[in-house]
Amino acid sequence: MSEPLPRQASRLAGYPASFYLALLANLFFFGSFQWSYVTLPGFIQSLGGDATHIGLAFGLSTLSAVLVRPAVAPFIDRWGRRVALAVGAALFALEPVLYTLTSTVWPFLAVRLLRGLALAAFTTAYTALAADLAPEGRRGEAIGLSGVTNNLGMLFMPALGAAVLAWSNYDVHFWTSAAVAVLSLLCVLPLREPARAPAAALRVSKVARSEPGFWQVARRKPVWLASLGGTGLAVAYGAALSFMAPLAEARGLAAAGGYFTAFALAMMAAQAAAGWLSDRVGRRAVALPGLAAAVLAGLGLGLAHSDLALLASGAGLGLSWGLVRAGLDTAVVDAVPNAARASALGVLYTCFDAGVGLGSFGLGLAAEAWGYGAAFYAAAAWATLAFAAYLLLGAGDTEIH
């Protein structure tokens, strides 16, 4: 008789090959995204931009995602996940190539609009596919594991991108980022998704009609409440994305690259465990501590005047990300039929994108007027409100598992 598999290997053995291809595609997709985390503010400044333009660069990409995701998500439910994954990866490969053709800040900002479309298509389809491929009773675990590769590249991609730039120039830096996105596309092409309901069945389903599906699922309390709560993390994340590196430079801190490493390590540990835990103790029990951590992470970054404090804040934001995304992503998937999963995730991610945009562009105005620390204090204040709303408005709700 063969010996039993170790516990972790046994848990992973139930997933099909396409689940692992999707994980790998996601790793390269976000690796291309993370490649320029540290270097992009400097590139914008080299084009003549200031703190407002830095915030606008991140804000425009999320704004375009906010605008297109309500239209894109229902089509992912209707046409499948693989096509949307391929479109998102291809656009991510094109975008940094176009950066090399810009010489002033405004054409660069126009190119950033492509990023929102790519993010809307890829991320919505990816999480929906992870839920589709989940073994019975392990949906939270599958979504938690799928989220680990969102930030696995954070361990080395920002530092590697900065090293390539130091060794060469911005053109080589951005062409390499494009090559990483091409690897994502190559992983998407051979994957297979589970059979879905016939198109005729989707047309008669009340929550899966192509055009109104997004807005119908948005009215379900578990969906809109999770979406509101998630903005607490989103605003803090958007602020860190845009203003952590300039704040570190202004305060003479050397750990800007390490911030994202601390974020990634904490995020991966939290999300891998939180998905599994949410299958056992519930989605809210996982998400609420994560929302509280977003408050502390925002305050910590505003108060950071040492490298250690900067790294601790990065770890706190990573912990928040892992807990919140594992809990809330699964909660909205639980709340709708299979044929409307992308639409429900589209609502959640639209609100998340809006929060990132607010944290980037909206708080960029505060940073320009009162300094970078003010942006993080404002982010912490919003995270506090989002935590309170999710705690109080969701009290007594029965979760679906």
Tell me the pLDDT tens digit for each residue of 280-301.
889 999 999 999 999 999 999 8
Mean pLDDT value across the chain: 85
CA 120, 27, 53, 354 torsion-angle sign: positive
Residue 35 CA, distance from chain mean position = 15
Percentage of residues in the chain having pLDDT higher than 70: 91
The residue-averaged pLDDT of 361-379 equals: 80
CATH class of 16-188+208-393: mainly alpha
CA distance 177 to 243: 21
pLDDT for residue 303 is more than 70 = yes
Task: For residue 300, give both structure tokens.
Answer: 């910590």
Question: pLDDT class for 398, splitting at 50, 70, 90?
Answer: low
Using CA atoms, how far residue 326 sits from 23, 24, 110, 143, 333, in Å, is 15, 19, 33, 6, 11
CA distance 34 to 1: 47
Question: pLDDT class for 39, splitting at 50, 70, 90?
Answer: confident
CA distance 143 to 125: 12
**pLDDT of res. 339:** 83
Q: For residue 398, count other CB atoms closer than 10 A to its CB.
A: 6
The residue-averaged pLDDT of 340-355 equals: 90
Using CA atoms, how far residue 390 sits from 133, 222, 258, 279, 386, in Å, is 29, 10, 31, 19, 6
| pLDDT tens readout for residues 230-264 | 999 999 998 888 788 888 888 888 888 788 789 88
Angle formed by the axes of helices 307-334 and 283-303, nearest 10°: 150
| pLDDT tens readout for residues 181-222 | 999 999 999 998 886 654 434 443 444 444 447 888 888 999
Entry field: residues in the chain:
401
